[in-house]
Amino acid sequence: MSSTPKRRQRSKLGDLSSSRSSHSSLTTVEPPSSFFPSRGELLNLVAVVAIASAVAVSCNFFVGVLNPQVKPFCDNSADSFIHDSCEPCPVHGECHQGELECMRGYKKRGRACIEDGDIAEIAKQLSEWVEFRLCESYAQVLCGGAGTAWVQEADILSDIDGQLMKKNFDGDSSLFMYARIRVMESLVKLLETQANPSGMKEFKCPDASAEYCKPYSCRIRQWLLEHALIIVPVCILVVGVMVLTWRIHKKQYLSTRVEEIYNLVCDMLEENALMTKGQNGEPWVVAAWLRDHLLLPNERKDPRLWKQVEELIQEDSRVDRYLKLVKGEQKVVWEWQAAEGSLSYTRSRKFGETGKSKLHQVMDASSQRHELTSEPRALIL
């Protein structure tokens, strides 16, 4: 009995010693250097994992964008309710069993309904055409001509139908009616409306729009009538200023011209007196000949010019005025009576060299004309 426990203790001690010896042998053995990855290999592993993750995320994003999970549309019937599992039906659309159908005159664009551009353009053109016709008719009324201010809705619809018949709707009556409704909706916004005593709707162009349709002659006439109290006094003032300015200018011109002719008459009379001294010429000059020679044809129509010259000559003491019988007719003649040597020596010498002054040439020509006109008179007598 006592020997068996001792053997068991010895065996336990032997096992313990053997385990200790094996553990000490394991701790003394080291693993090889290639057992663990190096730092570069760890970095490459991290880079590969990062690239793989980025590719996975990108693929998931693109798949979600290209093939999104679209919610169906909620039915717009009275017994349907909007909840998270469906999308509300867009405006101008009709939804049934999750599908969208756009109303007449609208086109499906993505998940919305937009207005048909062709129908909108036709409606816009027709509304502008009707507006122009109504404004032109009302403008004639404002200008006092024949026209109509208020037009009934039935007449407008008849004109619109006539214009829509010319358009191509491919036999679709619903598009025709939609275009007609769109035109009337635009006209309600553009024009003034009222109900006549019969209860029918009427349309009229606004006054501001009718002003642009008036002819320019009508605009000018109405503007003049509106501002007549200002325009008339201003016109009278302008005309008065112009008349006064013209009279002042004419008076200055007349005064300057009278003085100029007076000086020419004195020079010619003095020249004639010097040229006829000691010769067989006449020292006097017929006043009418001087007038016809010095005055322009349009100046002869105004008797005031020569009359003022005669007044200056009459006040001049160097000139004598008297009547003389010339060619059998009584004529007023002028003669220079100033003292000798009043002209300069050079001028006197010039007259002597020329032999005959310009005045004598004029007098000879006038005398010849007088003789030609007097000869027939003698024959008649």
pLDDT in tens, the chain (381 residues): 444 444 444 454 455 445 554 444 444 455 555 656 667 777 777 888 888 888 888 877 766 566 556 677 777 764 555 566 777 887 777 787 777 777 766 777 677 777 777 788 888 888 999 999 999 999 988 888 777 889 888 888 888 888 888 877 666 677 788 888 888 888 888 889 888 888 888 999 998 888 888 888 998 998 999 999 999 999 999 999 999 999 999 999 999 999 999 999 999 999 888 888 767 778 889 999 999 989 988 888 888 999 999 999 999 889 999 898 888 889 999 999 865 545 443 444 444 444 445 555 545 544 454 444 333 333 221
- The dihedral through the CA atoms of 200, 205, 206, 207 has a sign that is negative
Q: What is the CA radius of gyration of the chain?
A: 62
CB atoms within 10 A of CB 151: 19
Q: Please give the Cα distance from 317 to 343 (Å, whole number).
A: 17
What are the angstrom distances between the C-alpha of 121 and each of 125, 158, 348? 6, 20, 98
Residue closest to 284 by CA, chosen among 295, 297, 293, 275: 275
Q: Which long-range contacts (CB under 8 A, 24 or more apart) does 150-156 make?
A: 150/194, 150/196, 150/202, 150/203, 150/204, 151/202, 151/203, 151/204, 152/196, 152/200, 152/201, 152/202, 152/203, 153/200, 153/201, 153/202, 153/203, 154/200, 156/130, 156/184, 156/187, 156/203
**What is the reported pLDDT for 354?**
45
Amino acid at 180: R
CATH code of domain 253-372: 1.10.10
**What is the reported pLDDT for 349?**
43
Contact of 278 with 340, CB cutoff 8 Å: no
H or E stretch including 179? helix 173-190
CB atoms within 10 A of CB 334: 24
Residue closest to 156 by CA, chosen among 172, 132, 174: 132
Q: In the structure encoding, which two tokens stand for residue 166, read together?
A: 């010319």
**What is the reported pLDDT for 72?**
73
**What is the reported pLDDT for 312?**
92
Q: Please give the Cα distance from 117 to 109 (Å, whole number).
A: 12
Residue ranges covered by each domain of the chain: 64-115, 117-221, 253-372
Complete DSSP assignment for 286-310 = EHHHHHHHHS-TTTTT-HHHHHHHH
Site of tokens 């002719």: 261
**What is the reported pLDDT for 281?**
77
Site of tokens 């404004």: 135
**What is the reported pLDDT for 182?**
85
**What is the reported pLDDT for 5?**
47
**What is the reported pLDDT for 364?**
55
